[in-house]
Structure 1
Amino acid sequence: MNTGHSGSISTGHGNSIRGMLNRLETMYMMSAQVPVYTVRNQIANAIEIFVHLKRDGDGNRRVMEVAELAGFDGKEYNINYLYRTDGSGCLVRTGNALLHRDNLKRGGMNDRL
């Protein structure tokens, strides 16, 4: 992802999407002496979509939330949650629209999300 090529996929570990972002920042800052603003800006430019999975007690993984990393405002990440797990454990649409549809348009799938 650091080369600027689109289409990467990766796995990270965290208890939530924000937790994963914090871990990613920490790993980055352990190897480089750069301001946190720069780290967050680079992360926001590199990642588009998060799919957060959780392993249940029986060992099965299920999707907990899906979100778009919509940008960075200089202090915080702008996370646009598209799907979240409700109180009964079902994944439901939040009603938020995908903000950055460019890649879907290029792939001819603009109407999919």
Structure 2
Amino acid sequence: MAQLKENDLIVQRENEEIAQVETQIAELQARRELILERRDHAVVASVELKSSAKQLLKTAAEKRKALAEKKLIRSRWLVDMDSGDIAWRRIICLIWGMFGEEI
């Protein structure tokens, strides 16, 4: 009889240990799922950041190109202003070209 009680206690203790291990397994699985979910969100965010960075670089390159063109136009205009004779000759030629046929 004593042996039976001892066996029952051993079985009860083992069942409690099994329950604890199963609880730990469930907690670890929940943590694993949370980590995987966070990783998936991080991957999505990374892709979005890369896309945004590419778009920003593209926009910056276009803006740099537009500013360079604007600078070139301005420098040409300043050169024309400095050599006023050439600019006035161009204007006179344009005027004569527009009205020369009617005169």
TM-score range, shorter chain: under 0.3
Specify which structure has the higher proportion of helix: 2
Specify which structure has the higher proportion of strand: 1
Bigger Rg over Cα: 2
TM-score normalised by L of structure 1: 0.20
Larger RCO, structures 1/2 (Cα 8 Å, 6+ apart): 1
